Amino acid sequence: MSTPEVTVIDYGVGNLLSVQRALEHCGAKVILTAEPEQILAAGRVLLPGVGAFDNGMQALERLGLVPVIHQLALQKTPLLGICLGMQLLLEESEEYGLTSGLGLIPGRVIPIPNTSTEGRFQKIPHVGWNALVLPTADAAWKGTILQTVVPGDAVYFVHSFMAKPKNEMHLVANCLYGGVPIPAVLVNGNISGCQFHPEKSGEVGLRILREFLSQ
């Protein structure tokens, strides 16, 4: 069996070491780069990220990577965004004013409500382990990066903002925080996004990364 290869976009936003270690634990050869030619030639690409949305977009723009990522989508290259990396896939974010995103998944990034569905105060950011659930009763995870995950499996989140996709067909999984459904996984063709950190989510997270490496 050949070694899967994954190119991780190194744009200065996020802890790449834990992502690299998790991918290597899954048997992958990892290339860290911000070079457009290397990214465009990759068989699969991972966009990590932590921190503010505007900082992430500014870093991508400064390095000339926004058109490169758009080209990946056109080429049908498997692309996985993690945490901030997933949020950047959407059209815009309300964090620190309205900022345009990559626009690969229609929708907006909005603040997580600081009250539960019962009106109780809840801490922001949303930090910790939370179970993945199906967004609707007739939803299924077959053919997605969650193919080997069981509803109820828990993964690790750290975030203050959440995605709000325009089209429910792009919503693959939620978690519930104070009863509020928070999109946990979005998919649009070859583009996937995890709001949580699979590299910090134990065996469940590794199964998700392995599924991505098989694409």
Query: Which amino acids are annotated catalytic?
Result: 83, 197, 199
DSSP three-state, residue 88: coil
Q: How far apart are CA 160 and CA 153, in angstroms?
A: 22
Q: What tokens does 94 get?
A: 């309300």
Distance between CA atoms of 38 and 9, rounded to whole angstroms?
10
How far, in Å, CA of 175 to CA of 190, rounded? 22
Give the helix ranges, DSSP H, for the chain: 16-25, 36-40, 53-62, 66-75, 84-87, 202-213
